[in-house]
Structures are given as structure tokens and as C-alpha cells.
Structure 1
């Protein structure tokens, strides 16, 4: 009997130790990502970042980089057996997800073994989980905020798409294909399901890292945008009270008609995004139709289940070998640039409304145009002075941001999706 090697038992440590000699970059990357995962979980728990997303994502990220084991004569990344006749070798991998699996037989085997593979394959890699999230979000949206002040809301939301517009040519200049550039630039719309859907169609080869980067940064907006507001908007303007408005009450029937017309019209104009439009507005329709059981299903079970597994999957997709791909560095830079420019654009839209309204509009509201419902609307409300209420205007801009980000994403897909 061969002498027992303790590292053969504790394979997570063994793969890490071996990694320092075979691929130090991956080994150090694993340690960094384990630490980052714990930090994200802590910041989510403290409320600095979005807890619903960051807690499962952080723990998943830490776990996937810790739980690496050895496989023999099998590549866990692609789900393929090593070429016949090749000497058996030990290959590191995990029992969570194999995102690059393409062979049908190997995929069936993986579905039986890998813990999250069925959810990834049947919900994540086809965009279904994005539609489920949109159903839940739609059931929580009160479109009356948009209908009460449609010009203001859409005006600010369009300004908040500046990141999408400006990052696209920058990404192309950095060597990304037009499809990849479009997918990463939609991060500027701060709408995770939209980024997932767009990258799935235009940049399938970078689908996983683009989606991971998008959701990682969307969680950071909750902590970063308040500093941007303080930097660009002086305190006297942050304290500006919004004037009392005489808005006509909007009935449920009017909201229902708006949702139906918007869904059909947007689907007619941009059919490539119609699954997302239908998912969003079916939630609105259920809410306004007072279908209590469906409302409870969408707003609780569907939304929170989809959000939980989305965060967990994003965490386990942050495997060091994937994240340390050289092209991911470009995505990290472009993603944060898109959100930064969109945040600045939203604030510029707020300033524009401030002057157009005769200096009665609080410019902080502009940040809510960067969609991310309802995070950016809450950021706007928390960033104004005591006693100042901007939430109704902020929610109108934020809901409009969902629509504008869908329009920009659909335009990219319609223009860049290979024909035939």
C-alpha cells in the first residue's frame, strides 16, 4: 500500500498547492476570489450592497474557488472526456457547473452530477431566469408614476443611457466584436436581465463573464452612486424640495390599458426583446387586474426564487479560470465605465430638468433614470435632504429606465444579430 498523502484527502488544498507550481495566476486568483466572496457577503449583510443578490453570490464565489478537486481523464470545463488513448491525467474542476459543455452525451452526464447544472442549463443559459425576474419586477411596478409625468420620466431615462451609447464605440476600439461591444455596453442601462438576454444573443462566447461582471457592478451601484451624487450635486440642490403637484388620479383600468398598449407596441417595434416585454408587462397586468394569487406568486415565490438562484449561479460562475481570462479585464473596465457614464448622464438629465422646470426639480432624481429598479430610486431618496420627497419622480424615471434599456438592447440585437 502506498504511503498516504494527506493532500489526497483534502483535495481543495491539494489543487491549490499544485496550482502554485503549475499555474500561479489561477492559484492566487482563487485565493483573491474566495476573499472577495466573503467581503461581498459581509457588505450585503451590512446593507452596503444589495443583500438579496450579494449574499448568495458572495458565498457561491467563495465556495466555487475553494471546492476544486481532481478529475481523471475528464475535462470538467467542457464536459468532454480526454481524447482516447491519451494518458490519464488529473485535471482540476468542480461539481457545480460546467458552462462550456457542448456534447449532448457529456451534458446528460453532467446534469446527473453537477449540483447547479440543471438550473444553469434550463434557466440561465437560455435567458428564462431573466424573464422570471422581470415577471416579479413587473408585479411590483406601479406604472402610474410614469403615466403621471411621462415627459419628465422618459427624458431623464434617455440621459441615463449615455453609458450604453458611449461605451459601445470604446469597446469596439479595444478589439471587441460589435456583438460583444453591444452586450457589454448594455451594462450602462443597469438592468441585469437585459444584459443577460443581450449577451446570450450577441456574445455567447462571453456570455458568462459579461453577465457576471454586470451583476457584480449592479450590486456596487447601491454603494457607489451616493458618492457620485455628492461629488456632482451641491448640498443646497440636494436639499431642494420638490413642489407639490396636482396630478390626476390614475385608475387601475388606465394602468392596465397602458401596460397592454406598451407591451404590444414595443413588441411590434422590437420583437427580439418581446419575451422580456411580455414578462415585465404581464406582471403589471396581474397587479392591476387584482389577480391576488398570481400577484403573490410573481411578487414573492417567482421573484425571490429567481433572484436567489441567479445570485448563487453568478457566484459559482466566478471560477478563477473564467474570471482571469484576459478579455475579462476589458469587460471589468468597460462595465464600470458604462455605469459611471450612465450615472453622470442621469444626473445631467436631472440638471436639465432643474433648469427646464424653473429650478424647481431636484437634480438628484436624475440618478434614478439608471433603471436598476428600485435600487437607484431608493438611492435618490436617501441622497436628498431631510424632509425632501423625490421618490414618486424617482420611481417614474426608474421604471422608464427599464423601458429605455430594453429599447437600446433590442436595437443592438436587431442590428447586430447575424441574419440567416
Structure 2
């Protein structure tokens, strides 16, 4: 008889499975299909056992959750169904089975779990105790060509742990700072990691401002900038020739600085926008992992023409992928989680950790237009954990002192 899976065991498996594919591929390159399949089977097996033992919990999801979470879950289920409906090849079905279903079903579930009671504490605790330890393996100087599976990417939850610095003991403050520095310098070519770490510290320093009114103004101002930048840039792009991704062309930069600020996003946006317009799918998208034509197939000395001969099933941008799969409807629903979530954390919380999380979540909403593709890794796992925390009444009602006592458990 199958053993009943406890909540904490389920959370531990999710955290460990989010890191293990990188460890496997680090030592056994080019075996991504095998590890993805194993991960998929294990997770769905655990989820089946877990939910079958708690039917009442499963059936109460849509009754107890915030409407925004239910709408997001429904969007993903419809997008998956459309993906199966329009799938043309066995490759399309494989992508859906290995990645699409897992990501689109699991992550809304993560939002729900972290919005309930104190399950978020175990996500933090297990990553700190096991996930980060596994990620440290990726510092071994081998297979550096697999840069998407390096330490900088799989230590990404440190962005959130930086916000915990004001609430932890001195030795843990030092550890978090050391790990963030290690992540920062582990690969200076990963621009997204550098920006994320710097922004997290920028937000965290608000706790040490001399006046509370100044700190609140700082957080509110940052949120305003983060939330309203995407629509502003969109309006500018539609009404003028301004392109934020080509910002280096508007500035007087040296050749080295231009390399750092190189535009790597205009091409993928052009591809997706053109493909959806061509298919009259701008409103509702192409379905889960619907493919678009890509400029990459025109590049010489690459195998992109073979890899993407049927089209590209996704890009580096999380928000752009929602547009590709679910159209404008998907973008509005997904972005509303950042807008609503950041508002709830900043203006409906009694502790400064939640307020900082709200500002960070607003930043991630902006950043999703550039990076944060929805894939099963620690970075995206903690993104959805934080979205769930925006709806966690228990956490938001804690004072700084109460939160300090709760956070002690994470580092025990």
C-alpha cells in the first residue's frame, strides 16, 4: 500500500527535484530527455498520491483560493488543452508532456500551497538546507558550456533570502551575503543574475533607512517604476521609434559597454508578434508550446535551422511566452498577479519582509518581459512561492518580531 505523503515531504521533493536535473546534466551532458522524463513521472506520482489522500483539500482549492489564482489556474488548463488540440507532431506532444504540463499545472499549485498557512517556511527551509547544497556542486569547474545549468541560475532563490538579512542572526547574514557574492562573480556574463542581486540589495537596504516614512516612499516609488515601466515602454514603442532593448544605441557607450548592453530581445519579440499576427492569434495565443517562426534559423554556423525547423516553442521571456501561448488574455492575467500581489504585500502587511517582497515581486513583473521563462527550476519555483505569499493572510498579519521568531525555524 502506498505511503501517505505528508505536506512537508511533498515540498522537500519539489525543492530537490528543482535542482537535480542541473546536477545530472552537469555530469551527463546531452541526456536532458531522460532526466526530464524521470522528473515528470516522479512529480506526478507524488502529486497523485498526495492528492488522492486529501480529496477534500483538492476539492476545496477553487472554493478557498483568491479569484486571481483560480483564473490563472484555469488559464493554464485551457492553454494546455489547446496545446494538445493543435499539436501536429510527436515532438509537440513530447514538449507538452515533459515540460508544458508540469510547469503549467505545478506552478499554480505552488501558489496555492504557499498561500496556505505556513507551508512557505518549509520551501525556504528545504532550499536552504538541501537545494543550495546541491547547487554548490555546480561550482565545480567542468562542463562550463552548460551555462544555463550553472550556479548563478540554481542559486537564484538567494534573491529572496537577501530580503531576509534584517531578520536573521549575524552568522546567517554573513552566509547569505557570501553566497550572493559567490553567485554574482560565478559568471559575470549572466546579466540577469547581476541585475537580480543588485535589485534585491537595493530593496533590502530600505529596512535600514533612518525614517520609516522615507523607507515607505522608497518602496512605493520603486513599485511604481517597476509596475508602470512595461506599459510605458509599450506605448513609446507603438507611438515612436523608441526601443528599450536598444538602449545602448541612445547612449554614448564604449565598445565594451555596448557588449554588455547588447540587444538580445528585439528579435524574439519580432518573431512572436509576427507569428501571432499571421495566425490571427494575438488575443488568445497559439496554445501551450505553440511554435513560432524565428530569425535564429537564418544564422550561419549554427544548427538552429535544424533545431527550429518546425518553429520555436518558447523564448527566454516569461511574459512573452504567455503571449505566445495564451495571447493578450494570458499576458493580462499573468501580469495581474504581479500587480495585485505586489499591492497586497506592500499595503496589506504588518511586517517589512512582506513589504520588501511586494517591491521585489513588482520588479519580477517587469523582469518577466526580459527573462524568467517558466521552467521548473529554483528561480521560477521561488517566484511562484512569493506570488502565493501575497495571498497568505497568516504571514502578512505577523509583526516584525513575530516574523523574526518564525524565520528562526528556517535556519535550524
TM-score after normalising by structure 1: 0.25
- Say which one has the larger Rg: 1
User: How does the TM-score come out when normalised to structure 2?
Assistant: 0.26
